[in-house]
Each structure stands twice: as C-alpha cells, then as structure tokens.
Amino acid sequence: MGAGGWRIRVRGQVQGVGFRPFVWALAREFGLRGRVWNDPEGVGIEAWGPTSTALEGFVAGLTARAPGLARVDAVEVEAFDGAAPEGFEIAESRGRGAETRVVPDAATCPDCLAEVLGPGRRAGYAFTNCTHCGPRFSILKGLPYDRGQTTMAEFGLCPDCAAEYRDPSDRRFHAQPIACPACGPRLWFETGGAEVPGDPLALAVGVLRAGGVVAVKGLGGFHLACDAGNAAALALLRERKRRVSKPFAVMGSLEALGAVAEVAGAEGLLRSAAAPVVLVPSRGVLPEGVAPGMVTLGVMLPATPLHHLLVAAFGGVLVMTSGNLSGEPQVIHNDEAREKLSPFVDGFLMHDRDIARRLDDGVERASPPMVLRRGRGRVPGVFPVPFQGQALGLGGQMKGAICAVKKGQALLGHHLGDLDGVLNAAEFHRAIADYTALFDLKPQVVACDLHPDFTATRAAEAMGLPVERVQHHHAHLAACLAENQWQGGKVAGIVLDGTGLGEDGTIWGGELLLGDCLGYERVGSLTPAPLPGGDRAAREPWRNALMRLDMAGQGDLADRLFDGPVETLRAMASKRVNAPLSSSAGRLFDAVAACLGIGTQSYEGEAAMRLEALAVEGLEPYPFDGLDPAPMFREIARDLGRVPPGVIAGRFHEGLALAFARVARALVEEGRAEAVALSGGCLQNAVLHRALVRHLGGVTVLTHAQTPCGDGGLALGQAVVALARLERG
C-alpha cells in the first residue's frame, strides 16, 4: 500500500495494558498523524504517514515492541481515505462490548518497585501500580474496564494522580487502579478487631519474628504467613489450620529463595507478571514442617508492593499459604477474615481496597514446565483453539474450573476447589455468571462429565441449553489436543489419573485412548482391581495394595504388611460388595506407596507425591505384562527389605512409563496414530512425565504446558469436544 491513510485493527490482549499510549508514542517516533481508540474488537488506529516505509515500520512495531502485558494476536491493515488530523491523538473509546480481554493481575513492575523502595511521594506505599502492573481482574466489577467499574471507584484521584492519569507520556496514563498515599487505599495492623497504632509493617514483622501467624490481605484473597525457618511457628500454623502435612508455599526475595531452593532455570517464571508459586528442588535447609516428605518446594516472589515491603522488612523466607478454613474458599473480605481467620492468627495486616473476586495463587512446575493450577496472574488470559463456535465447559467435581470458548479463543477459568462443599459450589455458580458476562458468551452448548451426581453435571442440566456429556478421560485428551492446537489425525492418548466414570460404568484411570476431539476408542487400560470401600480406598492406600498383591499371588506378603480388616476386604472384593473395579493409575501409585510404608493420605495425592519424592530416576524398569502390573508387584515383593525404597520407587515409575509408552508407540508405528498425547493428573508427577517422554523418544509427543493436566483442565476438553460434535452436526 502507498503512503496515504491506513486503517489498522489490532486484536488480542490490548486494553488496560498501556497499548494506546504506546501507539501514540510509536506514531510520534515515525512522524505519523492519526488517532487510536479502544472498541469492542480491540484497538483501532487510523494513521497517515510521510512514506510507506514509515507506516510499515510503525505496523511492525505494534507487535515487536508491544507493552509487556499485551498479547497481539493479529494486526489487520487496509487502505483508508479520509482527512488526517494535525497530530496524533488518543481518541475516546467507541462502542461497548466484551470482544477484548480483561487483563490478569500483574506483579509489581521494576519501575513501580523502584518508586516504592526509593524516595518520592510513593516511597513505602503498598498500593503503587501503573499500566504495566497491579490489580486488574481481582478488582473488576464489570465492563468496560474503567475505574468506576472497579473497587477503586471510592478512591477519588488527587491532583498529582489525576495529572499522571491524563498524560499520554506517563506510564500511568489511564491506569485505572492508580493511587498514592494522598488518595488511595491505606494499610493497618489490627488484633482483636481493633487497629493497633504504629507502623503496620513493623508490627506485623514483630509478630512473625516472635513465632506468630499473621493474616495478610493480598490481591485475590488473604494469606496466612509465618516464619518458614521457625519449626515451632510451622507446627503452630499446622495445628491451628488442621493441615497435617500438605506442603506450604514460601515467599522471599530471589536471593533468599535461592538459599533454600534451586531456583536456577526458574527465575524467568518467578519474575514473570503472573508471579506464580513455582515448584523447584529443595535444598533441604528449611524445617521439615514446610513440606513434609517432599524434595521440592513451592516458592514465589512477592507479587505486590505490600508483599515486597513485608518480605524486605522481615529479611527472610515466609510461609504464604491460602487464608481459609479447611475445604472452604479463600477469604477475601475484611469482616469475613475477622470472623473466620481469628482463631488462626495473631494479627491482621489489612487494607481497605476491596477484592471483587477471589483468586488463589497459581501453581506451576519449572521442569518440565506446566501450569498445575490456574489462578492469580493467569486468569482471565485466553489462548487460541481451533474451534469457532461458542461453548461452556463446566469441568468435574474435583479441582473445579470452567471454560468458555468463543471465536477460536478459550478462557479457562481459575481454580475453584472441590465442589463437594456448599461454599465452593456457590463460587462455582458465581463463576459461571461471571465468565459468561465478562466474555459476553452466548453458548450454543454446555458440556459436562458423564457422572450424573457431579455439581457441574446438575448445573449443566439446569441451564436450558443442549448438553454434551463427555467421558472424563476423553476430556483430558481433548484438553491436551486443544492446548497444542492439534489439527492432525488421531493420536494415542496416555491418560493417567485417579478416577473417572467410564462408558462401561466402571471406574477408569489408567487409559490408552486412540482418538481426537470428536471421539475416541479405548484400546487399553491398566488391569482393573477392586476398590474395597469405594472412595475409602482413595483415603487408605493399603486397601489398594492388598488387592494388587493378592492379584499378583502375594497374599502372604499382604498379610504381613497390613493390620487392617484384611479378610473382610477380601470378602467384599470377591463378592463385589462396595468394591467397584478400577483401572486407576492413581490408586496404583497408592498401592506401591503403601507397600513401602509411605501410604499416608492426609490430603489428596499425598502417598503418590511421597513416592515421587523418593524415586531414583533412570533405573531398570519393573516388568509389566502389557498393562498388567502383577509382574511388577511380584518383583516388589522380592525386593522389599533387600533394596532401598528409592530404588523400588524409581523402578516402578520407569516400569509404568515404559508399559504405556510401548503400546502407544505401537499405535504410531502401525499408522493408527500420528502422535502421543500425555494427560491426566498423574502427569503432574515430573519423574513419570520425564520417563514417558524419554521412552517415547522419536515420536511426536503432545503435553500440557499452559493448562493443567489434571481436573483443572477438564472443562477445556469438554468444551472443545462439544464444539467438535457441533461442527460435525
């Protein structure tokens, strides 16, 4: 095109991230005239330049030099006839709608942190932010995204902040949460429902150094904080919260975290705008009470100025775990915190900026990289999928999350917890209304699990829309395909998890599927074993070990290992009384852990996590007969007491990985599959993940990275399966 007028459309995450002032500055650099505005489709630009080269350089810079929080999906250009303005202006927004994205909350940027830690009017101010950082989704009440639609509406701007807000050359131009000590939220420390006079941070640090617990109001909810290096403080927190052994996340400066964990290779993720909890190898220097039985630590950098100031004042590593009653959602309101958290804490570090929606910290694995729990900093970010219709996936019963898909974009929502509890179920229903409104979703279909008693299934049936019921493990497979934008032929899906209702009415969980988003064939599975006591078998891993040892002809060993009602369980299994058959890989992990004497289960997945922590990698695999683990249990019976437990754990991981890799590879070599996809909650296990990839060398392997492999990703898979079926007609 020539050097006349160009109309430019920028699509993506381009609102609320400083994109218009960036365009304004870029246009001035290239000597352009014109205007830029926000509208329901993204950012619109009309530009006139002295040469086509200037216009081309400007357009190239829109993507190459975009602000850090922006994501440019497309830049569309067409010739335009019209009168050019004298200069380049930032015009008023046009139209209303929700085609563009709401931006996730972002960790404090270097410029704002320098202000907080340096001199000036924002020195030491805990609510400093700009267009490159700060609260977004957690304070948003509705669209369009402006100050009046956020919890900052009650804080009027002082003259200095107003001037920054109006200046296109200032990084706070149209930063909706802009604030300073003269006009913004305030911080205080309180005990017993009353504010304590003095420096709030110094008061909180005093409690922490004395071995106490402090509730800290963050971006998406309250944290419970204590000194991570104080064994007595850790024991106190565990006793008060009744959290026996589930690992705590810790927060500190990068230097402090590096002293307690191996953060090399994870710095980029830790420093990212999402600022998630990142699982990295532990150095073993913190007390056992931080993460009992684990060889990894969940570490995070401060995500807000408040947390930066607190960590700097404390001078060490702090536990920073969700502030909630066991099984309930994270607390977000001040009065709610006083009511529910007072028995846990010795003081509150409180502020008066309301939280509009609760967002747990995200959890991610550094190697192999994977988002394990989508939360603050990732949501409501979207990603492309190869489907254009509109669908709503409602997920499963555990690790609830919903997914909206619209015009080739998927919005996988935040972690909602297990939906058995009344409060979590209420959060689930609130999230449905929230995301459909924010995404302006008008679903053609709603998708759910096969299980008729799930909260999500009943919600789908009550929506008055066509319902697609998607088998649990097919949804896992489809989620992996959707994240990878797979548009090839059928794949071999290795889907390993705890439990999911199968098409045949039994409980599946160790599956080899052949299929795509449209459909699947179950071509293999772990040899099923009874689960005596049903759900109780998941809480008491020795029950699974008893069944597997009996099936391998090792009943005598089971008699020696286990003191429970062994004969009663055997009778239940033989008569199929409350002993459903299951091919679950999760229960297989439990069984091996119980054989090794580490079969405690104070929280979901504990036994399997302890087994992973114990495993020595790269050893000779235990044998399987196809996908039957009986030969493995016979060798474990031989090795118990003779071989180190870490070797047994390692050989189990290798054996399981090799067994599934062999049959999946065969499907590829036979031409029935074009690739292998890995999914299901067991793939959170890094040792298993690495072993599978290693044994599948030379084969195209699709894995999760940006979406959870576990039940937190089910809704995505359900939604794309529903759309695939819809497109088929």
What residues are labeled active site? 20, 38
Cα–Cα dist 579/691, whole Å: 32
* Greatest alpha-carbon span in the chain: 91
Cα–Cα dist 701/679, whole Å: 11
Question: Cα dist. 387→34, 230, 438, 439, 728 in Å?
Answer: 35, 51, 20, 16, 12
What does residue 595 show for φ and ψ, rounded to 5 degrees? -60, -30
Angle at 170 between CA 166 and CA 173, to 5 degrees: 45
Cβ atoms 340, 330 nearer than 8 A:
no
Cα–Cα dist 404/436, whole Å: 7
Cα–Cα dist 550/637, whole Å: 11
Cα–Cα dist 287/228, whole Å: 8
- Residue 647 backbone class (left: φ over 0; alpha: ψ -120 to 50; beta: rest): alpha
Report the candidate in 627, 630, 624, 586 with the shortest Cα–Cα distance to residue 605. 586
Q: Which amino acid is at 106?
A: A
Report the candidate in 396, 395, 400, 322 with the shortest Cα–Cα distance to residue 360. 322
Cα–Cα dist 708/710, whole Å: 5
Cβ atoms 78, 6 nearer than 8 A:
yes
Residues making up the chain, counted from first to last:
729
Cβ atoms 253, 357 nearer than 8 A:
no
HEC sequence for 179-206? CCCCCCCCEEEEECCEECCCCHHHHHHH
Question: By CB neighbour count within 10 A (0-12 exposed, 13-18 middle, 19+ buried), where does 148 fall?
Answer: exposed
Q: Which amino acid is at 264?
A: A
Cα–Cα dist 405/409, whole Å: 6
Cβ atoms 262, 281 nearer than 8 A:
yes
Cβ atoms 687, 611 nearer than 8 A:
no
Residue 84 is given by DSSP the state P
Cα–Cα dist 463/461, whole Å: 6
Long-range contacts of the stretch 366-369 (C-beta < 8 A, 24+): 366/265, 366/266, 366/269, 366/278, 366/279, 366/280, 367/265, 367/266, 367/686, 368/686, 368/689, 368/690, 368/693, 368/703, 369/269, 369/705
Cα–Cα dist 58/65, whole Å: 10
Residue 245 is given by DSSP the state S
Question: Cα dist. 519→65, 488, 493 in Å?
Answer: 42, 14, 12
What does residue 223 show for φ and ψ, rounded to 5 degrees? -105, 155
Cα–Cα dist 410/413, whole Å: 9
